[in-house]
């Protein structure tokens, strides 16, 4: 145990995080475009009046579109809501697992015939996430594999569905309604882990699932 958190063992942002300095090319590009804007702003009065009018129209269109955008939840938002609902539903008595096993060689074959894809199933007890079972669930308009893990006393649902051709993306953390969500893509599969455990722990589960 360290005597103090901020000693050398623990990274500190000010010391260890990268300060990204602007590349020289950017400096040149910014100077050039500002100089150009300066020249243009000295144009004839008529053009400036027109530009102002166009700017107002632009702002009106933009705010209208933004208003529309905000009124309608994004696909992503809907997915997240659905995933949290599926998680909460799974916690009701008898809903969590249809196949109850900590053996990945029991859980994986169970999905065969129930899904048109084969989700990666791994027991992660060695890193603190024992597999407890699985079921088929329905999230965001499609059937998904739901793998269940435990972390201490927390139940974790990991939803898995095929995303052919999608590039791998690192885990992304969100918090909603007090639940942690971590989403990522790996090996052509979409993953979404939901739990009341800490988001950081879920990110750890994501790393373990990707790399074990």
Partner 1 sequence: MTPLARFEKTVLPHLDAAYNLARWITRNDQDAQDVVQEAYLRAFRYFEGLRGGDARAWLLAIVRNAGYTWLEKNRPAEVVALEDPGALSAEAETVGHASPSDGNPEVILLQSANRKILNQALEELPVGYREVLVMRELEDLSYKDIAAIAGLPMGTVMSRLARGRELLRRLVEVRMRKAS
| DSSP-assigned letter for residue 203 | H
Distance CA 20, CA 15 (A): 13
Q: Which of 47, 76, 91, 95 binds partner 1 (CB under 8 A)?
A: 76
User: Residue 156 in 3-state DSSP?
Assistant: strand
Interface stretch with partner 1, choices 2-10, 90-98, 102-110, 133-141 (CB under 8 A)? 2-10
* 194: exposed, middle or buried (Cβ count in 10 Å: 0-12, 13-18, 19+): buried
**Span from 5-13, 95-103, 111-119, 136-144 in contact with partner 1 (CB under 8 A):** 5-13
Contact between 5 and partner 1 by CB under 8 A: the answer reads yes
Q: Which helix (H) or strand (E) holds 33?
A: helix 24-41
Q: Which is nearer to partner 1, 133 or 201 (CB)?
A: 201
Spell out, one character per residue from 34 to 63, where the chain touches partner 1: x when CB under 8 A holds, - when not.
xx-xx-------------------------
Residue labelled with tokens 């597999």: 131
Total residues interacting with partner 1, rule: CB under 8 A = 51
Q: Which is nearer to partner 1, 77 or 103 (CB)?
A: 77
Distance CA 198, CA 212 (A): 21
In the window 133-172, what residues touch partner 1 (CB under 8 A)?
170-172
* Distance of closest approach, residue 15 Cβ to partner 1, in angstroms: 8
Closest distance to partner 1 from the beta carbon of 107 (Å): 24
Scan for tokens 């196949």, then name that residue: 99
Q: By the 8 A CB rule, do 168 and 186 touch?
A: yes
Distance between CA atoms of residues 18 and 105, nearest Å: 43
Binding positions for partner 1, rule: CB under 8 A: 1-3, 5, 7-14, 16-23, 25-27, 29-31, 33-35, 37-38, 69, 74, 76, 127, 170-176, 178, 198-201, 203-204, 207-208
């Amino acid at each position: 145990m360290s005597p103090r958190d901020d000693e050398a063992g623990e990274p500190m942002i000010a010391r260890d995080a990268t300060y990204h300095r602007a590349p020289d090319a950017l400096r040149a590009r910014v100077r050039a475009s500002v100089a150009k804007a300066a020249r243009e702003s000295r144009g004839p009065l008529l053009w400036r009046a027109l530009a102002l009018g166009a700017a107002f129209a632009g702002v009106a269109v933009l705010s209208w579109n933004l208003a529309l955008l905000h009124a309608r939840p994004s696909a992503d938002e809907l997915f997240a809501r659905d995933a949290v609902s599926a998680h909460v539903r799974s916690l009701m008595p008898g809903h969590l697992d249809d196949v109850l096993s900590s053996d990945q060689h029991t859980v994986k074959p169970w999905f065969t015939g129930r899904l048109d894809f084969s989700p990666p199933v791994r027991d992660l007890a060695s890193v603190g996430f024992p597999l407890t079972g699985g079921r088929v669930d329905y999230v965001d308009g499609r059937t998904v594999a739901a793998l269940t893990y435990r972390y201490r006393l927390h139940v974790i649902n990991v939803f898995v569905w095929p995303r052919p051709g999608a590039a791998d993306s690192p885990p992304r953390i969100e918090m909603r309604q007090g639940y942690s969500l971590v989403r990522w893509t790996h090996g052509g599969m979409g993953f979404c882990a939901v739990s009341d455990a800490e988001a950081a722990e879920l990110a750890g589960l994501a790393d373990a699932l990707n790399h074990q």
